[in-house]
Structure 1
Amino acid sequence: MESTPFAPLAESVASLLPRAKAELAELVAFRSVADPAQFPRSECEAAANWVAEALTAEGFQDVAVLDTPDGTQSVYGFLPGPEGAPTVLLYAHYDVQPPLEESAWLSPPFELTERDGRWYGRGAADCKGGLIMHLTALRALKANGGVPVGVKIIAEGSEEQGTGGLERYAEEHPELLAADTIVIGDSGNFRVGLPTVTATLRGMTLVRVQVDTLEGNLHSGQFGGAAPDALAALIRVLDSLRADDGSTAVEGLDSDARWEGLQYPEEDFRKDAKVLDGVWLIGSGTVADRIWARPAVTVLGVDCPPVVGATPSVQASARALVSLRVPPGTDADEATERLAAHLESKVPWGARATVEQLAQGQPFRADTSSPAYTAMAAAMQAAYPGEEMQTAGQGGSIPLCNTLAELYPEAEILLIGLSEPQAQIHAVNESVSPEELERLSLAEALFLVNYAASQAG
């Protein structure tokens, strides 16, 4: 970067990295899982207050902790820009996934720990690191003449739960998040060192299916063989969701779409996903087809007796939590209806089935030909010398993207972030690459400069 006119920005970002690490450690320490059944609400409230204080300290105006309709809190702030400058909305979320089995972590999940050149902790990449990325980019700009655009920041408090609190709040207050361009800091590079914007997101639907066969459990010796087993019925239902090759097989959903663009070599995917030797990948087509362009069903959990302590009983009831990722081009409402109809139709033996929808989000496709993408491409090329910006899909869902696209159809939406494959988001031992944090903070700062210049006059 020394040979470019952006060297001062690069130097500022590098000098801010120790502060970024210290603040990320403070944020990671909050056990901010937006599920009061697992963690106290006070943890999320404390994290929200931390964000509000950070924005206030950076000179943001109208800083507010917003009570959203799902009972969680999002944090908003506005930093005015020069007269006539465009407004950019920066998004991240401070809530995190549960740590899963804490004993499986090599270091405490809520204690940022440096190891082998990475920083480990729940939310380090997804997405507390995204908030730190935004703050670092803005601080670097302020150290080099000022922020050239108006900036709004929104930090969501329930993204991981998918309960839609911020979406509904935005719909009720459409002026709040209005912006010319929106940068969602909740995706990630295709791999470390390869600058990537996410062009598509799969939507999702989450349902709970319950199968009932008896008024109560029965002794398997006395009644087994004739009494209908609800757990066995549920297993049949769940098995029907996949074809023999593992492809998603929900009746009425297209499972043959193709991904045109950046491909994901199978060997790279096996390594990133840590697939055991000798175990096949599921599905057909390219890996990119399977994870970015096609629906994907996952059984997230089953309520049944654990092996330890199980009794010799025919089960009267059983239920499962089923997630369906919905690719762009498929309506999530229709996908939910087809999933529910499929589950109900596959229940054997006349058993009773109930399907309850718990959450839903529409898929998203960005306009990669927009001026904002041109500005980001130049910024990423400067921040990652020798590399050009790539566009990829993402199998995950960010329902807010569609809400923002509907509320502000003229706004350009870009998705960047720190959740590259080595980050292992949602798994144990989640981590962030400090080099990626540095380079993406620089890229975001350069983007704001480039975008402001492209909109001048």
Structure 2
Amino acid sequence: MTKSALDAWFAANRVAILADYYSLLRFPSIGGDPAHLPDCVACAEWVCAFLRPLGFTAELVRGDGSKPPLVLAERPADASGRTVLLYGHYDVQPVDPVDLWETPPFEPAERDGRVHARGAQDDKGQWFALLQGLRAAIENGERLPAIRIVLEGQEESGSGFLAEQALDLRRRLAADVLLVADTGKDASGRPAIVAGLRGVIHFTVTLRGPKYDLHSGQHGGLAPNPAQGIAELVASLHNPDGSIAVKGFCDNIVDPTEAEFALATERGFDENAYRDEVGVFPVGGERGVPAIVRNSFRPTVEVNGIHGGYGGPGSKTVIPTHAFAKLSCRLVPDQSPAHVWQCLKAHFEEHCPRGLTVELTEVTGNEPGFRLPIDSPVTRIAQDVLREVDPRGAVFTWEGASIPIVARLRDVTGAAPLLVGFGMQEDRIHCPNESFSLDQFQDAFRWGGLIFPALA
């Protein structure tokens, strides 16, 4: 099926495609919030119903029912050949702060060629567009490989249930190629083949002090202050030059090869364009290290939020009983999550302010980073297909972000990961007013319509 034939099919079916897309986006499938478990189940059931008319057997894997289910689907091959496993996630990030959304986050709205809704891009829009491309190929009678699908409902909170189930499901997930639809284009809008991802650990660190909130006049200068302590503790994580100060954290870091460095840097990094898009210059991280290297090949420790004491209107003169910070660490290949975690625990114990106690909780992620070969048969097929999608062809990128389950699925299934996505910075994933342009959606559709037949 040619690109022009795919475009004609899209035009003829546009109304139905967008109607289904909007239906999918209306599910408030916030997988990290137990209150939204029924919404996650309903969303997963909707996906199964969508897949069955395409020739898939589709079912939910529920476990004990306490977590968002997996969608597991399979379609037999039209002829002997490869088996492709498509991975994506139907869960979405929380929508706070709600008052910054221009339209309700779960009521899709098209403005200026972009669909605005939570999940419009990350990740519902990406894999759904790809499946619509597959649908076009099926209706056109294209020869296709065996296709397996696993969609999870906990990617945004660590992929715990899929990680638990993966080994038991290994025969049903076994494949030659692991197709991941959860990444992005490069900054210029060219398609990108992701050749590496960072791993991730996220956790909460809490400092506890007095048994109850204290009057800051009666107890100021006497009682240790957890709010001040959490600021000191967080500040201790980095050296003045921005490098990570945690002993042992950066052990075993492997620098990029010459070929990787050349491919990563040949596109350059436009600091002014970055500033125009996000509002600040890219000056975070270790000074003296190129921006692309900092973002793609070096680990990070980032503070996601700090909370403690009174935050309402006016004043309330207290020394709070506790304070906490939410943190995430991005890891690079050869960094052991277990080793990194031990280093972090030792650091927090050593730097805990006098008179306070430290607790580490809500530890999730614990997945390593990885890099992929840049010259494999599957990669070459992807390059050819992406040249049809965009005549400029594809670039290689090494993502600073994480998809925690990919390394686990690779190890369990034996499949070669192929990470191609169509997100852009302006999509504002994880933020209010997330969106996905219809041009990006159609590129993802083309990719789906072309890559499955190419892998047959």
Give the TM-score taking structure 2 as reference length.
Answer: 0.91
Across the aligned residues of Structure 1 and Structure 2, the Cα RMSD in angstroms comes to: 2.2
Deviation at 1:138, TM superposition (A): 1.0
Q: 1:65: which partner in 2?
A: 60
Q: Does 1:378 align with 2:389?
A: no
Deviation at 1:347, TM superposition (A): 1.3
Deviation at 1:337, TM superposition (A): 1.6
Q: 2:77: which partner in 1?
A: 81
Q: Does 1:30 align with 2:27?
A: yes
SS across alignment from 1:153:
strand
Q: 2:439: which partner in 1?
A: 435
**4+ residue runs over 4 A deviation:** 255-259, 279-282
Per-residue CA shift, 1:262-294, capped at 9, x if unaligned?
233322322333327xx9545321221121111
Per-residue CA shift, 1:198-246, capped at 9, x if unaligned?
1111111112212223333322212211221122111100111123244
Residues 375 and 257 from structure 1, CA distance in 2 versus in 1: closer, same or farther, beyond 3 angstroms? Answer: same
Q: 2:410: which partner in 1?
A: 405
- 8 Å contact 1:129–1:418 — kept in the other structure? no
Name the % identity.
29
Q: 1:267: which partner in 2?
A: 272
Match of 1:236 among 219, 232, 242: 232
Q: 1:7: which partner in 2?
A: 4
Deviation at 1:442, TM superposition (A): 1.2
- 8 Å contact 1:190–1:420 — kept in the other structure? yes
SS across alignment from 2:61:
strand
Residues 252 and 16 from structure 1, CA distance in 2 versus in 1: closer, same or farther, beyond 3 angstroms? Answer: farther
Worse-matched range after superposition: 103-112 or 243-252 = 243-252
Distance 1:53 1:5 in 2: 28
Distance 1:423 1:19 in 2: 23
Match of 1:188 among 184, 203, 209: 184
Q: 2:354: which partner in 1?
A: 349
- 8 Å contact 1:137–1:442 — kept in the other structure? yes
- 8 Å contact 2:74–2:147 — kept in the other structure? yes
- 8 Å contact 2:226–2:308 — kept in the other structure? no
Distance 1:175 1:271 in 2: 48
Q: Does 1:91 align with 2:87?
A: yes
Matches within 5 A, 1:8-407: 8-37=5-34, 39-61=35-57, 63-68=58-63, 71-191=67-187, 193-254=189-250, 260=261, 261-263=263-265, 264-275=269-280, 280-284=283-287, 285-308=289-312, 310-360=315-365, 361-385=367-391, 387-407=392-412
Distance 1:350 1:228 in 2: 6
SS across alignment from 1:40:
helix
Distance 1:306 1:220 in 2: 12
Instruction: Note the residue ranges of structure 1 that are not aligned, 5 or more in a row.
Output: 453-457
Distance 2:349 2:441 in 1: 46
- 8 Å contact 2:196–2:371 — kept in the other structure? yes
Residues 147 and 336 from structure 1, CA distance in 2 versus in 1: closer, same or farther, beyond 3 angstroms? Answer: farther
Q: 1:455: which partner in 2?
A: none
Distance 1:273 1:135 in 2: 31
- 8 Å contact 1:16–1:136 — kept in the other structure? no
Distance 2:80 2:194 in 1: 29
Residues 34 and 87 from structure 1, CA distance in 2 versus in 1: closer, same or farther, beyond 3 angstroms? Answer: same
Q: 1:448: which partner in 2?
A: 452
- 8 Å contact 1:193–1:436 — kept in the other structure? no
Deviation at 1:311, TM superposition (A): 2.6
Letter matched to residue 91 of structure 1: Y
SS across alignment from 1:160:
helix
- 8 Å contact 2:178–2:410 — kept in the other structure? no
- 8 Å contact 2:389–2:446 — kept in the other structure? yes
Letter matched to residue 296 of structure 2: W
Deviation at 1:303, TM superposition (A): 3.1
Distance 1:247 1:18 in 2: 51
Distance 2:449 2:245 in 1: 44
SS across alignment from 2:373:
coil
Deviation at 1:196, TM superposition (A): 0.4
SS across alignment from 2:421:
coil
- 8 Å contact 1:14–1:438 — kept in the other structure? no
SS across alignment from 1:416:
strand
- 8 Å contact 2:309–2:322 — kept in the other structure? no
Residues 13 and 368 from structure 1, CA distance in 2 versus in 1: closer, same or farther, beyond 3 angstroms? Answer: farther
Distance 1:181 1:253 in 2: 33
Deviation at 1:439, TM superposition (A): 1.7
Letter matched to residue 165 of structure 1: F
Instruction: Count residues in correspondence.
Output: 443
Distance 2:186 2:448 in 1: 17
Distance 1:243 1:68 in 2: 45
- 8 Å contact 1:17–1:438 — kept in the other structure? no
Worse-matched range after superposition: 47-56 or 439-448 = 439-448
Per-residue CA shift, 1:273-321, capped at 9, x if unaligned?
3327xx9545321221121111122222233123326532223322222
- 8 Å contact 2:310–2:318 — kept in the other structure? no
Residues 283 and 271 from structure 1, CA distance in 2 versus in 1: closer, same or farther, beyond 3 angstroms? Answer: farther
SS across alignment from 2:173:
coil
